[in-house]
Amino acid sequence: MIEAVNLCKQFDKIKAVDQVSVMIREGNVFGLVGTNGAGKSTIIRMLCGILRQDSGTIKIDGMEVYENIDAKKLFFYISDDQYFFANATPKDMKKYYSVVYPDFDSGRFTSMMKQFDLDENRKINTFSKGMKKQLSVICGICANTKYIFCDETFDGLDPVMRQAVKSIFAKEMSERNMTAIIASHNLRELEDICDHVGLLHRGGILLSKDLYDMKLSIHKVQCVFQNEVDINSIFEGTEVLKIDQRGSLYTITARGTEEEIHDRIRMSNPVFSEILPLTLEEIFISETEVVGYDVKKLIF
Ligand SMILES: Nc1ncnc2c1ncn2[C@@H]1O[C@H](COP(=O)(O)OP(=O)(O)OP(=O)(O)O)[C@@H](O)[C@H]1O
């Protein structure tokens, strides 16, 4: 488990990270989403022990991470500006990582390179940006670490490759309970892979939720009633996040289980009612609107 409590980091006058606390459970995929400059990379760099926090604590499996080799062996970090040795080939990087990570799977590295159609013997500095990203992902997966930190890893990959990488991640999670922390400025990118999303804004966490819980606890219903109704009295005692009315058609987003919402609507004799699926984007918009933020400006 990774546990960070009240992390703060300041660069001169810039408060890059301000009192951030996160708990990342084993086997989970934690998405860190936020605009440019929100503090995502700074948090990941602190979690990896590259930067030292000004205050707060970070524990990976109970160990401090800064300058602690035992803790660092537990994870692989794919940074947004990946580093490879000058003039190195993928084969050189494989040799290097085999020394750093005791469980590095060299056989798998070779077979994944073939699968991704990358040449192990070609100089990495002749690779395209996307090819370098693919190589980093292959190195990260083959390191066989318990945790993997990814900073904008899907950026720069074409849509087919993005899906391929996501399914490799999903397989690692189901087969060996790998835990991933993925930073992205795009919420849509995280929707199909994350279990938990933290929304970062100006160095602080605005919202941090389990996607499963979120999807179970907010619903959108579309309905038409026979007579004039007072929506607020139908939903009395529960929080209505949004009401949209077009003629006699209401679209209501409210907190509650599917059952609870259906029951309330049914009591008012609707002509028609249907629960509609909510995207992660809509959930975030609803959740942050109620605390006074226009999330569309922050992440879309
Ligand atoms: N080494 C540094 N020196 C000075 N300021 C820094 C440094 N690293 C980050 N910052 C500042 O800290 C803030 C957060 O930066 P960070 O790179 O963590 O954001 P981010 O959310 O990862 O952004 P992006 O999506 O653009 O990569 C920014 O204002 C940035 O200018």
Interface predicted TM-score (ipTM)? 0.97
Domain covering 214-299: architecture: 2-Layer Sandwich (3.30)
Closest listed residue to residue 132, CA positions, set 95, 98, 84, 169 = 84
pTM score? 0.85
User: Domain 2-202 is in which class?
Assistant: alpha beta
- Domain-by-domain residue ranges, the chain? 2-202, 214-299
Ligand 1 mean position, distance from CA 114 (Å): 36
How far does the chain reach from its first CA to its final CA, in angstroms?
30
From 7, 35, 40, 45, mutation site for ligand 1 pocket: most ligand atoms within 8 A of C-beta: 40
Amino acid at residue number 177: N
Two tokens, residue 229: 């109704």
DSSP state of 50: S
Residue with the nearest Cα to atom 28 of ligand 1?
Answer: 37
Domain 2-202 matches domain 214-299 at the CATH topology level = no
Two tokens, residue 33: 């989403």
286 in contact with ligand 1, CB cutoff 6 A: no
14 in contact with ligand 1, CB cutoff 6 A: yes
State the burial class of residue 170 (Cβ atoms within 10 Å of its Cβ: 0-12, 13-18, 19+): middle
Tens digit of pLDDT per residue, the chain (300 long)? 999 999 999 999 999 999 999 999 999 999 998 888 889 999 999 999 999 999 999 999 999 999 999 999 999 999 988 889 999 999 999 999 999 999 999 999 999 999 999 999 999 999 999 999 999 999 999 999 999 999 998 877 888 999 999 999 999 999 999 999 999 988 888 888 888 999 888 888 888 888 888 878 889 999 998 888 888 888 888 888 888 999 889 999 988 888 889 888 888 889 999 998 888 878 877 777 766 666 666 555
